[in-house]
């Protein structure tokens, strides 16, 4: 391996308290690139079918990409791969900050954690030295406290990825937090880590990612930096307002899900917009490793300070719950980060509970419990209720324990499964699919459940990147979704941020990968690798019993038209036809299974 990889994978068995370094399979690295792809391949090979995600047999895999630790722009993403306890699907969840670089600098390409410890522990990797330390004194601490303590106990410049109380107590959408406020948020990797009684992974090293062709890499990096520096989204919008710039934009399209997707237009959106944030709680921009964009926001309310909220969080804890109080949203976000759980699922689950409350679906005992614990009614627009709910979720106590299961389980428990706005059990993010047809198809077919990052079709459907298309049409969308899904799989495997696709095109990524590895990488080969990863994720889900019936959208999206806003009267009535076209574009049969020829073409037969 000439560049991009150290060729080393660390295997840690927590049950046996053993660790070993093994060579990275060069062919596997080539076929799956790294990050999400490499992690998924390892998971697929390791995990017996139908394994309980919270059992010791479910591995937790940290995987870097070949561009982590290089000067490639926005190359600070680390992937965590496991089977999701929330959805039962394959789960790849990534985060920014510096942890990916810190992990790479230990000289490791990936870290595979198996088994479960019999007592709380911390994995401390300092270059070649690997140590499992007792973490009894850390158990129960929040993610900020844990990080501070571990930095004091290990190395002040170490990278810390840890769980908070939510992960320890099995909140099904607990996140793994690194650099204090960066979340591998979706799907519950933090709960898997908690089940292993692994409080944190701490890494430090001095290794430098090898670059095979330095001159070619400099040229590719400069090409990418120029594009990022000149694209309107990355040079202006994200830099100035962070991701919250989307609040007003998506609301104007009538696609900002409001009050549990009952509407697509939030009249008070400006109160929680990026523009308002900049004038009120914004303190400074925060950047991940090697990122010139700096879309992160450090903020301060009248009572507290912290990081966030970004767009999805603003929406989930704001308009989705009918809340227009930006300070309350920010403070709820701080709690989510400190306790360590996903803001999207949390907000969507609270919104689901609010609708259940307003529809009278809770039994009297539950209503009394909620009143007693929250000290208020669980109605849309109640910011105080949001704050009480996130505190309860983090502790997984009382009504919070019900919310900690996610909206699908909550809605089913109270007899209204249709009120869970989720796909495959994962809650939809902040784009109403009724306003964006390609996004609808992307949500329905995402392997980890509804996810905007598996194919960010909002780019062409709302942000005119790389160009404007008709957001209500279904024509051409199957092939476009496939293109975005394959490229996103590759981006996640390279170790890059998905926001690069606001500026770069598929050729840029191939140039960077070819230069760092010294191998020949055409754009077609890169997309084929992405397609291989996507199909492997599909095979994983099929093995676990998922099928075409799971490639769907919430009842409300399919059957209830939006009542107002600039997507008024829209519902996704064409999903089945879109799925047919999509499966055909993918080389899958009508049931959504990759055909033998597709598998053979991708080397997956």
Q: What is the contact surface with other proteins in residues (CB under 8 A)?
A: 226-227, 230-232, 254, 438, 460, 464-473, 475-480, 483, 503-508, 523, 527, 565-570
Q: Where are the beta strands (DSSP E) in 398-481?
A: 422-423, 426-427
Q: What is the dihedral of CA 83, 86, 92, 97, to 10 degrees?
A: -130
CA distance 474 to 468: 14
Name the minimum Å distance from CB 471 to other proteins: 7
Residue 314 or 480: which CB sits closer to other proteins?
480
Residue 468 or 597: which CB sits closer to other proteins?
468
Closest CA to 460 of 482, 436, 479, 432: 436
DSSP secondary structure string, 1-66?
A: --SS---EEEEEETTTTEEEEEE--HHHHHHH-SHHHHHHHHHHHHPPTT--TTSTTS-EEEE--T
End-to-end CA, the chain: 26
Q: How far is the CB of 455 from other proteins (least distance, A)?
A: 13
Residues contacting 536, CB < 8 A, separation 6+: 32, 37, 40, 41, 44, 604
192 vs 457 by CB, closer to other proteins? 457
Q: Which is nearer to other proteins, 141 or 435 (CB)?
A: 435
Q: How far apart are CA 385 and CA 318, in angstroms?
A: 12
Q: What span, in angstroms and rounded, lies between the C-alpha atoms of 41 and 253?
A: 39
Report the nearest approach of other proteins to the CB of residue 225 (Å).
11
Shortest distance, CB of residue 527 to other proteins, whole angstroms?
Answer: 7
Q: Closest Cα to residue 182, out of 39, 308, 40?
A: 308
User: Least separation, in Å, of the C-beta of 544 and other proteins?
Assistant: 30
Q: Which helix (H) or strand (E) holds 241?
A: helix 238-241
Question: Which CB sits closer to other proteins, 212 or 216?
Answer: 216
Residue 182 C-beta: closest distance to other proteins, Å: 28
Select 77 or 508, whichever has its Cβ closest to other proteins.
508
Rounded CA-CA distance 250/458 in Å is 9
Of 281 and 501, nearer to other proteins (C-beta) is 501
Whichever of 368 and 577 has its CB closer to other proteins, that residue is 577
Q: Which is nearer to other proteins, 508 or 532 (CB)?
A: 508
> What ranges in 417-505 are assigned the alpha helix state H?
437-445, 458-462, 477-494
Cα(450)–Cα(428) distance, integer angstroms: 5
Q: Residue 294 Cβ, how far from other proteins at the closest point, in Å? A: 20
Write out the two tokens for 478. 């199957």
Cβ closest to other proteins, residue 182 vs residue 477: 477
CB of 181 to other proteins, least distance (A): 31
Nearest one of 222, 217, 206, 226 to 104, comparing CA atoms: 206
576: Cβ–Cβ under 8 A, 6 or more apart, which residues? none
**What separation in angstroms does the CA of 216 have from each of 141, 212, 213, 333, 520?**
46, 9, 5, 42, 12
- Nearest approach, Cβ of 464 to other proteins (angstroms)? 6
CB of 441 to other proteins, least distance (A): 12
- Non-local (6+) Cβ contacts of 10 within 8 A are 19, 20, 21, 108, 110, 111, 112, 125, 130
| Residue from 415, 392, 386 nearest 405 by CA | 392
Closer by beta carbon to other proteins, 507 or else 580: 507
Residue whose CB is less far from other proteins, 564 or 596: 564
H or E stretch covering 312: helix 311-317
Distance of CA 132 to the CA centre of its chain: 28
Residue 264 Cβ, how far from other proteins at the closest point, in Å? 10
Least distance to other proteins, CB of residue 253, Å: 8
Give how far the C-alpha of residue 584 lies from the chain's centroid of Cα atoms, to the nearest Å.
27
């Amino acid at each position: 391996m000439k560049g991009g990889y150290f060729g080393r994978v660390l295997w840690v068995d927590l049950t046996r308290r053993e660790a070993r370094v093994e060579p990275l399979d060069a062919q596997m690295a080539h076929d799956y690139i790294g990050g999400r792809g490499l992690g998924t391949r390892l998971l697929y090979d390791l995990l017996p079918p139908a394994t309980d995600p919270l059992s010791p047999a479910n591995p937790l895999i940290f995987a870097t990409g070949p561009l982590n630790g290089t000067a490639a722009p926005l190359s600070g993403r680390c992937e965590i791969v496991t089977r999701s306890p929330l959805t039962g699907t394959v789960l790849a969840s990534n985060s920014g900050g510096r942890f990916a670089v810190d992990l790479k600098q230990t000289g490791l390409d990936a870290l595979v954690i198996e088994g479960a410890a019999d007592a709380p522990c911390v994995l401390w990797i300092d270059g070649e030295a690997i140590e499992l330390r007792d973490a009894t004194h850390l158990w129960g601490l929040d993610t900020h406290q844990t990080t501070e303590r571990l930095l004091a106990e290990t190395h002040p410049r170490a990278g810390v990825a840890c769980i908070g109380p939510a992960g320890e107590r099995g909140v099904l959408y607990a996140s793994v937090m690194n650099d204090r406020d960066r979340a591998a948020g979706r799907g519950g990797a933090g709960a898997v880590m908690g089940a292993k009684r692994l409080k944190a992974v701490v890494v430090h090293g001095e290794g430098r990612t090898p670059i095979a062709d330095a001159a070619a890499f400099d040229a590719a990096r400069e090409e990418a930096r120029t594009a990022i520096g000149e694209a309107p989204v990355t040079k202006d919008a994200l830099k100035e307002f962070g991701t919250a710039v989307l609040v007003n934009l998506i609301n104007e399209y009538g696609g900002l899900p409001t009050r549990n997707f009952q509407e697509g237009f939030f009249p008070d959106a400006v109160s929680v917009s990026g523009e308002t944030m900049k004038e009120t709680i914004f303190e400074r921009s925060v950047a991940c490793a090697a990122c010139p964009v700096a879309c992160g926001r450090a903020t301060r309310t009248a009572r507290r300070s912290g990081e966030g909220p970004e767009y999805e969080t603003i929406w989930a804890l704001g308009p989705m719950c009918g809340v227009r109080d930006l300070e309350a949203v920010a403070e709820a976000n701080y709690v989510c980060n400190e306790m360590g759980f996903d803001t999207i699922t949390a907000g969507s689950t609270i919104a689901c509970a609010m609708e259940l409350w307003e529809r009278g679906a809770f039994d009297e005992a539950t209503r009394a419990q909620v009143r007693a614990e929250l000290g208020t009614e669980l109605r849309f627009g109640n910011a105080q209720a949001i704050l009480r709910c996130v505190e309860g979720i983090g502790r997984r106590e009382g009504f919070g324990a019900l919310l900690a299961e996610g909206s699908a389980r909550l809605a089913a428990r109270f007899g209204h499964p249709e009120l869970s706005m989720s796909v495959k059990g994962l809650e939809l993010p902040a784009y109403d699919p009724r306003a964006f047809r390609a996004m609808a198809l992307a949500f329905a077919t995402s392997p980890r459940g509804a996810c905007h990052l598996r194919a960010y079709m909002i780019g062409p459907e709302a942000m005119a990147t790389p160009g404007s298309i008709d957001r209500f049409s279904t024509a051409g969308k199957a092939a476009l979704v496939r293109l975005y899904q394959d490229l996103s799989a590759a981006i996640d495997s390279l170790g890059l941020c998905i926001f690069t696709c606001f500026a770069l095109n598929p050729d840029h990524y191939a140039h960077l990968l070819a230069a760092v590895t010294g191998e020949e990488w055409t754009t077609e080969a890169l997309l084929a690798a992405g397609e291989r990863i996507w199909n492997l994720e599909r095979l994983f889900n099929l093995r676990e019993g998922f099928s075409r019936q799971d490639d769907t959208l919430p009842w409300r999206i399919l059957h209830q038209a939006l009542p107002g806003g600039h997507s008024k009267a829209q519902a996704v009535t064409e999903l089945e036809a879109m799925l047919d076209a999509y499966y055909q574009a993918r080389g899958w049969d009508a049931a959504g299974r990759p055909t033998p020829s597709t598998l053979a073409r991708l080397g997956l037969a």
